[in-house]
Chains A and B, each alone.
Chain A
Amino acid sequence: MIDRPSGPLPIDAPVPGSSFTDLLESIGAAPAISVPEGASIPSAPEGTTVLALRYEGGVVMAGDRRATEGHLVAHRRIRKVFPADKYSAVAIAGTAGLAIDMVRLFQVELEHYEKIEGVRLSLEGKASFLARLVRSQLPMAFQGLVVVPLFAGFDERDDEGKVYTFDVVGGRYEEIEFGSTGSGSRLARSYLRTVYEQGLSGEEAAAFAVRALVSAAVEDTATGGPDLRRGILPNVVRIDQDGVEELSDSVIGPIAETAVETIR
């Protein structure tokens, strides 16, 4: 039973600290779902390939736009890369419905902490919290509903971009060059491994990110390449000392065209 927020503020209630997720739990509205033993799960749309790579002074994150359900394309224009707060972004792979809800909770959590405490969480703190959210999904993962995010942001203390990958049990790993998750992630990583070098510029990093997605889309049917005829382009965000910037279609369009021509 959820205590709906209405009437006088519950200032006498035990205070759950600065975490919004704990606050949700304290009123019984946390998104923890349990599935009865042996129940079969209906198939749900899955998001596929997302990646992030570091460059000099920041980090670029990109994701394709396809969600699949079995062998079918469930959505052609789904969004898998989201700004999390001013200096970080999160991308998702796995069961789309659960993942998007996780992102929404993560976004509110970061803003809530910032407002309550008056300062932003450190980048490492944000990554740790996301790991906790992934772990809370573990019972669902046993049922086949897996959510694996990718996290990237600009570390205001170290003055550099950072990339964190996760595994299904909530393990958190900092990547020194690039990270990728989803069905086409191995293909994307192989591409990035051949082209990546230290000291890339933001523009080069964005171009490599899109090419890696195209490269994954060539061999992985679950990854959607740029569909220039329909105007479906990957989502790309760039994060540097000025914060998260979402690249517009007019910027991504030419990059995607070149990528489609370059990748064989």
Chain B
Amino acid sequence: MSIPFYVAPEQLVRDKAEFARKGIARGRSIVAVDYRDGVLLLAENPSTALHKVSEVYDRIAFAGVGKYNEFETLRKAGVRQADLMGYLYSRDDVTAMGLATAFAQTLGMIFTRDPKPFETEILLAELSEDGSEHRLFRVTYDGTLFDERSFVAIGGKAEELTEALGELWSEGMSLEEALEAGAEAFRRAEGRESEGWEAAVLDQANGRRTFRRLEPGEIPTP
């Protein structure tokens, strides 16, 4: 019988984190930005078939970067959880906070338990009832949960995007201005033009289900 080599926990965690970070850095990033009537989610995505941004519940949207199959697994689990809660209790009992916590626990568990951590980072946006201070959550590959305000970025270029949005974002922007700010943030962070956009909004004007994908014509072409 072979005895496994002893690896110090610090070393193990460091290696896993480095592995996950490398995987995420290979993919393209996503930003979520508050605007006058809701939240805009903007992703650089050359594919029109594979979505990175999608609807979870009436007022909640999901976005994921990294390995597609991994964040897709998480997205579907999130939709199942949300629909179950809403059906068993009430639609009002489904909150981004509850879902974000569940995502954080899941990612944290996978990070410590599984030999290979998920190479993915996710974002949850929730439209607030009164139209101000929408909730934005970011969950990293190791299950760390961040509660953000006004704008947030995930993916390999998250830091650069956040820095750029800090200069470009202002309160009460229109959707067009928010799209322009998001696109400009990508331009600054990546140092090149985008290869294609995927965009969606959570907007009160859409009725009970506030999520709506933007048509290609509504997004400024690079």
Report the bound CA distance from A29 to B88 in whole Å: 9
Which one of B3-11, B36-44, B72-80, B182-190 is at the A interface? B72-80
Residues of B13-55 whose CB lies within 8 A of A:
51, 54-55
Q: How far is the CB of B96 from chain A (nearest CB, A)?
A: 14
Query: What are the nearest 5 A-B pairs in CB distance?
Result: A9-B77, A8-B105, A8-B106, A9-B106, A5-B84
Residues of A68-87 whose CB lies within 8 A of B:
none
Q: How far is the CB of A47 from chain B (nearest CB, A)?
A: 22
Does B85 touch A at the CB level, under 8 Å? yes
In the complex, the answer to whether B106 meets A11 with C-beta atoms within 8 Å is yes
Does B170 touch A at the CB level, under 8 Å? no
Closest B residue by C-beta to A9? B77
- B102's partner among A7, A20, A29, A108 (CB-CB below 8 A) is A7
In the complex, the answer to whether A115 meets B54 with C-beta atoms within 8 Å is yes
Closest A residue by C-beta to B87? A108
In the complex, the answer to whether B84 meets A9 with C-beta atoms within 8 Å is no
Report the bound CA distance from A24 to B105 in whole Å: 23
- B87's partner among A6, A10, A105, A116 (CB-CB below 8 A) is A105
Q: How far is the CB of B75 from chain A (nearest CB, A)?
A: 9
- A8's partner among B55, B56, B76, B109 (CB-CB below 8 A) is B109
Does B196 touch A at the CB level, under 8 Å? no
In the complex, the answer to whether B73 meets A11 with C-beta atoms within 8 Å is yes
Report the bound CA distance from A105 to B83 in whole Å: 11
Report the bound CA distance from A99 to B87 in whole Å: 16
Q: How far is the CB of A22 from chain B (nearest CB, A)?
A: 11
Report the bound CA distance from A108 to B58 in whole Å: 12
With a cutoff of 8 Å between Cβ atoms, the chain B residues found around residue A108 in the complex are 83, 86-87
Given A115-B55, A118-B51, A11 and B77 contact (CB-CB distance below 8 Å): yes
In the complex, the answer to whether B84 meets A23 with C-beta atoms within 8 Å is yes
Residues of B103-118 whose CB lies within 8 A of A:
103, 105-106, 109
Does B81 touch A at the CB level, under 8 Å? yes
Q: How far is the CB of B189 from chain A (nearest CB, A)?
A: 28
- A20's partner among B78, B85, B87 (CB-CB below 8 A) is B87
- A9's partner among B51, B87, B88, B103 (CB-CB below 8 A) is B103
Given A9-B81, A108-B83, A115-B83, list of 17 further CB < 8 A pairs?
A: A6-B102, A7-B105, A8-B105, A8-B106, A8-B109, A9-B77, A9-B80, A10-B77, A11-B73, A20-B87, A29-B88, A104-B87, A111-B209, A112-B80, A112-B83, A115-B55, A115-B79
In the complex, the answer to whether A5 meets B85 with C-beta atoms within 8 Å is yes
With a cutoff of 8 Å between Cβ atoms, the chain A residues found around residue B73 in the complex are 11
Of the listed residues A9, A23, A105, A112, the one surrounded by the most CB atoms of chain B closer than 10 A to its CB is A9
With a cutoff of 8 Å between Cβ atoms, the chain B residues found around residue A29 in the complex are 84, 88
Report the bound CA distance from A115 to B81 in whole Å: 12
With a cutoff of 8 Å between Cβ atoms, the chain B residues found around residue A7 in the complex are 102, 105
Q: Mark B138-174, 1 if CB is under 8 A from A, else 0.
A: 0000000000000000000000000000000000000
Residues of B189-207 whose CB lies within 8 A of A:
none
With a cutoff of 8 Å between Cβ atoms, the chain A residues found around residue B55 in the complex are 115
Does A27 touch B at the CB level, under 8 Å? yes
Q: Mark A9-39, 1 if CB is under 8 A from B, else 0.
A: 1110001000010011001010000000000
Report the bound CA distance from A10 to B105 in whole Å: 11
Report the bound CA distance from A5 to B74 in whole Å: 15
With a cutoff of 8 Å between Cβ atoms, the chain A residues found around residue B74 in the complex are 9, 11
9 contacts between A and B (CB under 8 A): A5-B85, A7-B105, A8-B105, A8-B109, A15-B76, A23-B80, A29-B88, A108-B86, A112-B80
With a cutoff of 8 Å between Cβ atoms, the chain B residues found around residue A11 in the complex are 73-74, 77, 106
With a cutoff of 8 Å between Cβ atoms, the chain A residues found around residue B106 in the complex are 8-9, 11
Q: How far is the CB of B44 from chain A (nearest CB, A)?
A: 19
With a cutoff of 8 Å between Cβ atoms, the chain B residues found around residue A20 in the complex are 83, 87
Q: How far is the CB of A58 from chain B (nearest CB, A)?
A: 20
With a cutoff of 8 Å between Cβ atoms, the chain A residues found around residue B87 in the complex are 20, 24, 104-105, 108
Report the bound CA distance from A6 to B85 in whole Å: 9
With a cutoff of 8 Å between Cβ atoms, the chain B residues found around residue A104 in the complex are 87
With a cutoff of 8 Å between Cβ atoms, the chain B residues found around residue A112 in the complex are 79-80, 83
Report the bound CA distance from A105 to B86 in whole Å: 11
With a cutoff of 8 Å between Cβ atoms, the chain B residues found around residue A6 in the complex are 102
